[in-house]
Amino acid sequence: MAEKVERLLISLEQLIRLRNETSCAILSECGVPDITVKQIGYLKIIDEHGDVTFSRLAEITRNSKPTITEMINRFESMECVYRERCPHDGRVLYIRLTEKGRRIARAEEFALSRLIERMMDSLDEDEMNVLVRILMKVG
């Protein structure tokens, strides 16, 4: 039994390592290998909410407006976001992701997609079906 657990642990660690390597490669391609998990989380929030203002982002993240302004300034210097005035109310500023910001926000998704492609290239259809059934069973 201990041998099975050890083999499973090694296999899962290998999959996680591959996903992490791919995710890190994507971040390096974007020129931000030192970006923090927290920063990526904020970019994901901006990506998920679309028309997000400074006030709304402060509310969602439970931060102060000055903290959000500082963070957005940093993201602008990293070329991950830009500000866009609302066409209906010039006082309102939206925070928008650049293509680079979008790639960073979606790096995990891209990494998982690449991992799935690798699995599909390595496994035949029957093996893939077995893997899917196993993952659905434990998930």
In this prediction the pTM is: 0.76
Q: Could you read off the pLDDT of 41-96 as tens digits, one per residue?
A: 999 999 999 889 999 999 999 999 999 999 999 999 999 999 999 988 889 999 99
Q: How far apart are CA 94 and CA 137, in angstroms?
A: 42
CATH architecture label of 33-105: Orthogonal Bundle (1.10)
Residue 67 neighbours by CB distance under 10 Å: 13
Domain ranges of the chain: 1-30+106-139, 33-105
